[in-house]
Structure 1
Amino acid sequence: MSPSLNDIELFVEVARGSSFTRAGDVLDMPASTVSRRISALEKSIGVRLLNRSTRKVSLTEAGAAYFARCRHIVEEARLAHEMLMDEAGSPRGRLKVSMPSTLAMSLLSDALREFSMRYPEIECEYDLSVRPINLLSDPYDVVIRIGEPPDSGIVSRLLGTLVLGLFASREYLDARGIPERPEDLDRHECLRSSTERGDSLWRLFSEDGKERQVRVKGRIALNQVLMLRRMGELGMGIVPLSIQAMTGGSLVRVLPEWSFAPIPMAALFPSRMMPARARVFIDFVKEQLAGVPLLMGNPRFPAG
């Protein structure tokens, strides 16, 4: 008897996450049922696909080859089904997205609500982190990251570019003075994401294309942008922040004619063949960001 596509899909999900429990969560069935059906699949084809132990599940050599072929078959079958469903109605299903919490909270908080209202049949799950994600094995439809996209065969789509400027509180500037040129930053407390050399060398570009490199220092480093902003608001120093996200608030732009090199923001996904729910989400986010000043279009400064 030939194995059913449903059982092949079960195997692909187990192989993706190296876990019966994880596959069961994705497909909404008990892990014991997943394990039993995979055993039946192995019996029907006469080949052991998985190594099982009390701690983990791993692919055999035959299982790895089977997974490499079946993963694309299962994905194409899902997409064919979803395309057929889309023709009969609006995009639907479970959408799993990973994006930085700072992006979600500063630029997209209202937009995510609007997306759910526009597409009521899409169930959204957002992972607000920047932890490493393997799009070929982790069950995400879209991953949004800030910075150069990885050169690893992953498909990407540019959503826009972020431009960082320098900001400080009025309290800090009253106490320490206002820097008039980039070299003056050497005498100031500068808030950074880490104390590593790269985060302590600031490359700034003027509107007419000049470049300055300044070695900065400060007593506080934080790897979370919202906390960096909060420290700036509390008068702890000068902090680089997205110009787009700094509408209103108590911080003042410092050295307004100087900015950091623009940083690309991209949507990453495992294949150009994507379900409709992922496609409309990417289009929606790009549409929302298009209205943010200095975010979309050609960078004004050298890429660096």
Structure 2
Amino acid sequence: MAQPSGTLRASLPVDFAVTYLAPLIAEFAELYPGINFEFDLTPRKVDLISEPSDVAIRMGEPENSQLIARKLASLTAFLYASPEYLERYGTPSVPSELEDHECVGMLKINSWTLHHGKETQTVNVSGRFALNNVGMIRRLATLHQGIMLMPKEVVADELATGSQVQVLPDWHGSPRAVYALTETRLIPAKVQRFIDFLRERLSHHD
């Protein structure tokens, strides 16, 4: 069977691509030396019809019903902070105590819904930093600025080095799906292989 070749154009979410997809993409590139890659790293919603992308990888439920969405995985967020932050401000023992902590979170999100078995708690969170960039949230948490809610796949490096430790380990956020979006069901072999490869690798982290 002929190896797929040509240029694969993909739109990727910035932080997820840099921190988590990059090693997988490198592995895929080794398997398929005939494929070249053009990546547009952007957090914004993609218009595959007017922009020349073969596939877009996005987190969260797709909003554009005209696109074909293939679910790749589901990522669950957990709470993390630096040991230095916890030493200075204490470690919360129940979710409600997060309201007394610096929580580094996304813009316009004022509460976190956490799950423990069948129990669910929604806590109001606030902090001095609210932003729209996952990489910057990770960086600020590493710089001891507060507690973050983040998929463990995104903070794997920080956990490995010990710059972040898990807080309230029995609790987790609501799972977020990762989708591959294409304009049509009829996609070139290179795109199909890429989607299949990511689904296989990401599913191990479900």
Q: Fold-level match, TM-score > 0.5?
A: yes
d(CA) in 2 for partners of 1:182, 1:108: 31
What is residue 215 of structure 1 aligned with on the other side? 124
What is residue 269 of structure 1 aligned with on the other side? 182
What is residue 75 of structure 2 aligned with on the other side? 162
What is residue 236 of structure 1 aligned with on the other side? 145
Instruction: Determine whether 1:125 maps to 2:38.
Output: yes
1:81-100 mapped onto 2 (5 Å cutoff)? 89-100=2-13
Shift of 1:233: 0.9
- Residues paired across the two proteins, number: 202
Shift of 1:151: 4.5
What is residue 201 of structure 1 aligned with on the other side? 111
Q: Which runs of 4+ in 1 moved over 3 A?
A: none
TM-score of the superposition, structure 2-length normalised? 0.93
Instruction: Determine whether 1:148 maps to 2:56.
Output: no
Shift of 1:132: 2.3
What is residue 7 of structure 1 aligned with on the other side? none
Is the 2:106–2:130 contact (alpha carbons within 8 Å) kept by the matching residues of 1?
yes
Instruction: Determine whether 1:138 maps to 2:63.
Output: no
Is the 2:138–2:155 contact (alpha carbons within 8 Å) kept by the matching residues of 1?
no
Q: Which runs of 5+ in 1 are unaligned?
A: 1-86, 297-304
In our comparison, the structure showing a higher alpha carbon Rg is 1
Identity, % of aligned positions? 38
Of the three residues 97, 103, 109, the one matched with 1:184 is 97
Q: Deviations over 1:140-185 (max 9, x none)?
A: 1000000001252210100001111111111111111110101101
Shift of 1:201: 1.1
Is the 1:98–1:130 contact (alpha carbons within 8 Å) kept by the matching residues of 2?
no
SS of alignment partner, residue 153 of structure 1: coil
TM-score of the superposition, structure 1-length normalised? 0.64
SS of alignment partner, residue 126 of structure 2: coil
Of the three residues 150, 169, 174, the one matched with 2:87 is 174
Shift of 1:127: 1.0
Shift of 1:235: 0.7
Is the 1:96–1:139 contact (alpha carbons within 8 Å) kept by the matching residues of 2?
yes
Richer in strand (by share): 2
Richer in helix (by share): 1
d(CA) in 2 for partners of 1:134, 1:104: 19
